[in-house]
Amino acid sequence: MSSLLSYITIFVITASLIFIGFFGEIFFRRTGFSEYIFLIMIGILLGPVLNVFKLSLILPILPYVSQLTLAMIMLELGMSFKFEDLISQGRSAGLRTIIYVGFSILLVFVIFKYLFGWSSYSSFFLATVVGGETTTAIVPYLAKSLKNDEFFANVTLEASLNSVLLIVLFTFGLNSYLQHVPFNVSGLEGIISSVIAQISIGIVIGFVAAIVWIDFTRMFWAEEYFYIATIGYTLAIYAFVSLINGSAILSVLTFGAVLMNNKTFLKVLGGKTDEQIIDMQVNYIKTFQKEITFFLRTYFFFFIGLVFFIDKLLDLLTYLYLEALLGILLLSRFIAVMISINNAELRPAYYVMLSQGLTPAVLASLALYYSLPMSHYIMTLTSLIILLTNIITTTSWAKLSAKYLTYTSQQS
């Protein structure tokens, strides 16, 4: 009876999460209030509060869910890159990303290491988890309401770039930690050389794999289950590049970007193009990619709630850390927007786009699984930062009146 109850319980919870994610998405599109908050709260209720799911049961499967989610994130991010947007908005979005991510990572690292006494690695991991991400699940949708194509393309590109940057930095830091590389000048030199080699391997293999798959799709794009074959191919790339010590995340990102912009690459490489077939295959893949990302995102935020450490809420240091992180993010965002955006009327709209989401959640879960230093605090602080930045973005955006948004849209 217990085993029957266990799978019935899992089925009921899974069904509930899917419906919560579905209707939460509708609620978000009507109100701007993210379903992330509901999913995390349900996880906290069923995990540390009611103890329906024990931490000892969740931790063993967490890395598999995390790595799968990470692979799908990178594929979706890659397929969100449009070369025309990169050319038109790349300078502004790229500059803001570098300043926002770079400045927030630097401040978090310095303050937590020298003021709060964290170790170099623990400070670095916290910094690269929460250091300046803007979630692609929320920012682009809110940006659409401004009805300004340039603004939408700019913040969407920034959301993709900062997620990629944080994932790359955290992954290389994790590899260095697991290999016991000292966090000093000589150690950093070794990390940098390793980073360059891994980046090169990942990008080259991802590019070649994409060209091969484009040719494959010309022949089989109309076949049933083609998207599943694409997912299998993506996971094979991820596993192979990881096996040869390359950057698996960059290989999948490159694969997705080349696949998305395949007409451009085929023209450059002199290959035959069929506009209709290419458009159909990309739209087909993107449609199903959104579905699987939705499922993984829904389940993953539930997982984040399950591994929440309630005892940290009774620790006054948690609130001191949280206040410092929020202050750093707000300050870094302000500086990045002031430097990268010339249109003073649009700066408030850019400034409030700081809600965090799936990327820091995945990275924090990896920190927890690998028992990185201060991982319990990193997990707790990340969950709270996700909740608070989403509330800040939603409430701030709501305060920007329709009249003001219309005015700034016309001015731009």
Task: Answer whether residue 96 shows pLDDT above 90.
Answer: yes
* 100: CB partners within 8 A, 6+ apart: 132, 162, 332, 333, 335, 336
Single-letter amino acid, residue 236: A
User: What are residue 34's phi and psi, to 5 degrees?
Assistant: -70, 145
Task: Answer whether residue 196 shows pLDDT above 70.
Answer: yes
Q: What angle do CA 343, 360, 356 make, to 5 degrees?
A: 35
First to last CA, the chain: 64
Weakest-pLDDT range from 112-116, 117-121, 250-254, 276-280? 276-280
Task: Answer whether residue 177 shows pLDDT above 80.
Answer: yes
Kindly indicate the confidence band of residue 1, based on its pLDDT and cuts at 50, 70 and 90.
very low
Which two tokens mark 39?
């999913």
User: pLDDT by residue (tens digit) across 31-43?
Assistant: 666 777 788 888 8
Weakest-pLDDT range from 5-9, 85-89, 122-126, 334-338? 5-9
Please report, for residues 194, 218, 232, 246, 274, the alpha-carbon distance to residue 251 in angstroms, rounded to integers and kept in the order given.
16, 22, 14, 8, 25
User: pLDDT by residue (tens digit) across 232-262?
Assistant: 899 999 999 989 888 888 899 889 888 887 7
Please report, for residues 51, 186, 369, 398, the alpha-carbon distance to residue 146 in angstroms, rounded to integers and kept in the order given.
43, 49, 40, 12
- pLDDT, average across residues 173-185: 79
Task: Answer whether residue 316 shows pLDDT above 60.
Answer: yes
Highest mean pLDDT among 42-51, 345-354, 355-364, 375-384: 375-384
* 75: CB partners within 8 A, 6+ apart: 234, 252, 253, 255, 256, 289
- Tell me the Ramachandran region of residue 51: left when phi exceeds 0, alpha when psi lies from -120 to 50, beta otherwise: left
- pLDDT, average across residues 218-241: 82
372 touches 170 (CB < 8 A): no
The reported pLDDT for the residue numbered 101 is 94
Task: Answer whether residue 4 shows pLDDT above 80.
Answer: no
Weakest-pLDDT range from 181-185, 322-326, 352-356? 181-185
Q: Which of 368, 375, 383 is nearest to 62 (CA)?
A: 368
Which two tokens mark 384?
């709270």
Find the length of the chain.
Answer: 412
Please report, for residues 71, 148, 236, the alpha-carbon distance to residue 152 in angstroms, rounded to integers and kept in the order given.
25, 6, 33
Environment class of 186 (CB within 10 Å of its CB; exposed 0-12, middle 13-18, buried 19+): exposed
Task: Answer whether residue 317 shows pLDDT above 90.
Answer: yes
Kindly indicate the confidence band of residue 379, based on its pLDDT and cuts at 50, 70 and 90.
very high
Kindly report the pTM of this predicted structure.
0.83
Kindly indicate the confidence band of residue 270, based on its pLDDT and cuts at 50, 70 and 90.
low
User: pLDDT by residue (tens digit) across 73-89?
Assistant: 888 888 877 777 777 77
The reported pLDDT for the residue numbered 213 is 86
Residue that has been written with the tokens 């920007």 in this structure: 400
The reported pLDDT for the residue numbered 3 is 45
* CB neighbours of residue 23 within 10 Å: 12
The four Cα atoms 45, 54, 386, 65 give a dihedral, to 10 degrees, of: -130
Task: Answer whether residue 402 shows pLDDT above 70.
Answer: no
195 touches 173 (CB < 8 A): no
How much is the mean pLDDT over the chain?
Answer: 82
